[in-house]
Structures are given as C-alpha cells and as structure tokens.
C-alpha cells in the first residue's frame, strides 16, 4: 500500500478492525519510510450484474424490483414478508455465485417461479400469468394443469 504522504510502497499494519456493518475491514498503517500513519479500508469487490431483457436491452439487477414483483404475486396470500425476502436473497446469492456479468431476465423469472411454486401455488400462478404474458384463458388453464400434474406426481 502506497503511503499517501511520501508514496513509499512499504507500510505495516498496526491495527485491524471490522467496520460497524461488518462489510469492510479498517486498517491503521504506518509508513516504514516517513513513519506517518494512515487508514485504509478493505472490502469485497461487488460485481455489477446486468439483466438482459426480452427486447435485448440491459439494466442493472435491482433486488427491489424483484421483491416488488414477488410482493404483487403474493398479495392477500398467507406468505410472510420474510419468506418473500428469503426468495430474493436466495436468487441474488445464486446469481452472484454464477460469476456471470449478464443474465437473461427469463432465467431470473424461472427461478422466481420455481420458488413460488414451492411456497404458494396461487402466487405462482399470478406471477406466471404476468411473466409468461398469458394471452387467453386457455394458456392460463394449461399452466394450472401443469401445476396439478406436477403435484400429483409428487
């Protein structure tokens, strides 16, 4: 680490502490050339995840947008906010663990539907109806039949 005063590259760590939020480490350093002290912070580098939409446009992943979609699907259903947030946490963690810079919105939609299918079938059908853009009653019925078939197979 370069000293901000004399630009010497040799310094020693005198003290290390976690920041209050626990997401970084604060280090007090002392320059071995001039003896002056300075503070550095070390934190995990967060990769920006881009979502590729159906029309080819790209936008940064927004966990709040994902949560809002799930909240709308679960409206007036016996699903707690913590369950909904847990779904978003799982999906976000999984996407970050993929180490990809871009992900298709269709992939994220499928992940949400998989989680909602397990959590609440009505919320699942609501989300699927918007996500898959059901154009008529027949496509809606087909989705419900798939759900019933998979449930019978368990």
Residue ranges covered by each domain of the chain: 11-43, 50-152
CB 43 within 8 Å of CB 20? no
For residue 4, the 8-state DSSP code is T
Pull the structure tokens for residue 152: 């019978």
What is the structure's pLDDT at 10? 95
Identify the band that residue 140 occupies on the pLDDT scale cut at 50, 70 and 90. Answer: low
Pull the structure tokens for residue 19: 């920041």
Which carries the bigger pLDDT value, residue 145 or residue 57?
57
What average pLDDT does the chain have?
88
What is the edge-to-edge ordering of all strands in the sheet holding 11-18?
11-18, 24-31, 37-43
What is the structure's pLDDT at 129? 80
Tokens 């918007």 correspond to: 130
Q: How many CB atoms are closer than 10 A to CB 85?
A: 14
What is the structure's pLDDT at 146? 75
């Amino acid at each position: 680490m370069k000293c901000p005063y004399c630009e010497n590259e040799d310094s020693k760590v005198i003290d290390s502490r976690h920041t209050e939020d626990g997401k970084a480490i604060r280090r007090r350093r002392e320059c071995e050339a001039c003896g002056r002290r300075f503070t550095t912070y070390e934190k995990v580098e967060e990769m920006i995840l881009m979502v590729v939409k159906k029309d080819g446009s790209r936008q940064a992943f927004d966990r709040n947008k994902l949560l809002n979609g799930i909240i709308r699907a679960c409206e007036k259903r016996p699903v707690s906010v913590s369950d909904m947030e847990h779904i978003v946490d799982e999906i976000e963690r999984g996407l970050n663990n993929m180490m990809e810079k871009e992900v298709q919105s269709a992939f994220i939609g499928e992940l949400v539907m998989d989680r909602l299918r397990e959590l609440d079938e009505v919320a699942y059908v609501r989300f699927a109806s918007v996500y898959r853009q059901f154009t008529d009653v027949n496509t809606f019925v087909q989705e419900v039949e798939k759900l019933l078939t998979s449930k019978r197979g368990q």
